[in-house]
Chain A
């Protein structure tokens, strides 16, 4: 390890300000939390409804990401089409787009009067907005890119000779995928899945725009925080702490992926 020199004082001060910018909001939350009543706040029926709904919807979005995102990541990493660059941009878009804009776009596509929503509503007699399924779609729209791009990076880093060797020994593509490629890429797959799940759990803008906010049906944890902020701030802070705890857990689980080299 090379010896390190200390930062110039001005840079160190700026670095401290930056670190405080991230530390102080957490401190504020912890300082204002209704600690003695935390259990009671979290046991309230509307809080439990939001927790269970968030869990269901975020797991649904993660599952959707796995089922649809895995083939997409494979195609992006190993396909030969010229369209891949365009599709990659499309997949990345929800990561940089304001989620509210994503919600409006989802309405215009899958709403009752939407591009594909209108014929679907006509055929099946229902539409996604204001439904729990709509929450899953909104969350998947925002979260799946994290899975697809993480997995694609993992697939690209693989040595192609393993798969080639397996194929030359007579393994069919499905078998190569199942027994060679996926096991090798498992760390990226899990990391991408957890990242997508965490993003889905925290989703707010697209959800409230596309699915609305109804207790037990579409009011997930972040939406419940927003609804409770003015009327019952203690409940909002308690819910926020739950989300912070989940985020901390995710960071801990993914520490190898996101902090390679780790703390020295």
Chain B
């Protein structure tokens, strides 16, 4: 019995000891940042032994909703400024948001572009099944802004909840054209770039949050993302530099 008690005490002490790895910082990132941020997180862990971030990438409205309801995230990286402003207005941001990357819209099509899609005006074609994100999603807002400016009326088959959903429906062959970002290029898909005149610039911002468990790690990760090394990773994923 005494031995059992000793063992229990030992376990407790080990549990509280300094050898326990520090808590990972939880990073909420817009869906379009998913791949790039996973890579950034891996490089960050290599460059900062003992520090770790966990990336949760999802549709931006969903992330804002979770932050509104008190999710214990340490950092928010948003595909648009409107969503970041909401989070700031909720009082969750611990600092002024910082721009760290830009992105451009692009049209995703099947490999080889069998429908000969050239630009935004093709989105009005009746023979194509077009897919956009909903207007509450950054990619959907940017797409609607670009379409309105080009005076093109496109009928989306569905208001998809995240840019990931658009990519997967095009990959499955259920849509002919999906409006996504240049960063969504996939080897198995075709990508039609839009000319600067009909494109819009998506401005990505990030901010350390209040109410997280690892604010110090989050601040280190924020510095890593905006560092030379971080910019290289983002550029490899085809993101543009901060404006």
- B159 close to A214 (CB less than 8 A): yes
B72 vs chain A, min Cβ distance (A):
18
For the complex, what is the distance from the CA of A129 to the CA of B136, rounded to whole Å? Answer: 22
Whether B174 pairs with A230 at a CB distance below 8 angstroms is no
Whether the pair A130, B136 counts as a contact (CB closer than 8 A) is no
**Chain B residues closer than 8 Å to A130, beta-carbon distance:** 129, 157-158, 174
**A213 near B160 (CB under 8 angstroms)?**
yes
Given known contacts A111-B172, A111-B173, A130-B174, is B159 in contact with A215 (CB within 8 Å)?
A: yes
Q: Could you tell me the distance between the alpha carbons of A112 and B176 in the complex, rounded to whole angstroms?
A: 11
Cβ-based interface call for B64 (8 A): yes
Q: How many residues of A contact B (CB 8 A)?
A: 21
Contacts of A112 in B (CB 8 A): 173-174
Q: Decide if A212 touches B158 in the complex (CB within 8 Å).
A: yes
CB under 8 Å from chain A, chain B span 141-184: 156-161, 169, 172-174
Q: Which among A213, A226, A230, A231 has the greatest number of chain B C-beta atoms within 10 A?
A: A230
Asked if residues A218 and B158 are in contact (CB atoms below 8 Å), the reply is yes
Cβ contacts under 8 Å, A211 to chain B: 158
Closest to A226 in B: B161
Secondary structure at the B interface, as helix, strand, loop or mixed, is: mixed
Question: B134 contacts which chain A residues (CB < 8 A)?
Answer: 213, 227
User: Provided the pairs A112-B174, A113-B174, A129-B174 are in contact, do residues A230 and B159 lie with their beta carbons within 8 angstroms?
Assistant: no
Q: Which of B64, B129, B172 has the largest count of A CB atoms less than 10 A from its CB? A: B172
Q: Which residue of the partner chain B has the closest CB to A131?
A: B157
Residue-by-residue, is A97-115 near B (CB-CB < 8 Å gives 1, otherwise 0)? 0000000000110011100
Does B161 lie within 8 Å of A213, measured CB to CB? yes
B212 within 8 A of A: no
- Which of A107, A218, A230 touches B62 (beta carbons < 8 Å)? A230
| Min CB gap B181→A, angstroms | 20
In the assembled complex, the Cα of A212 lies from the Cα of B162 at a distance in Å of 12
Say yes or no: is A13 at the interface (Cβ < 8 Å to chain B): no
**Which of chain A's residues have a CB closer than 8 A to the CB of B169?**
212
Which B residues are CB-close (under 8 A) to A111? 172-174
Using Cβ atoms and an 8 Å threshold, which residues of chain B touch A113? 172-174
Contact across chains for B61 and A230 when beta carbons are under 8 A apart: yes
Q: Is B65 an interface residue (CB 8 A)?
A: yes
Alpha-carbon distance between A130 and B64 when the two chains are bound, in angstroms:
27
Q: In the bound complex, how far is the Cα of B156 from the Cα of A213, in angstroms?
A: 10
CB B68 to nearest CB in A, in angstroms, measures 8
Ranked 8 nearest A-B pairs via Cβ: A212-B158, A113-B173, A230-B61, A130-B157, A230-B65, A231-B136, A214-B158, A129-B174
Give the interface of A toward B (CB within 8 A).
107-108, 111-113, 127, 129-130, 208, 211-215, 218-219, 226-227, 229-231
A selection of 22 A-B contacts at a CB cut-off of 8 Å is: A107-B172, A111-B173, A112-B173, A112-B174, A113-B172, A113-B174, A129-B174, A211-B158, A212-B158, A213-B159, A213-B161, A214-B156, A214-B157, A214-B159, A215-B159, A219-B159, A226-B161, A227-B134, A227-B161, A229-B65, A230-B61, A230-B68
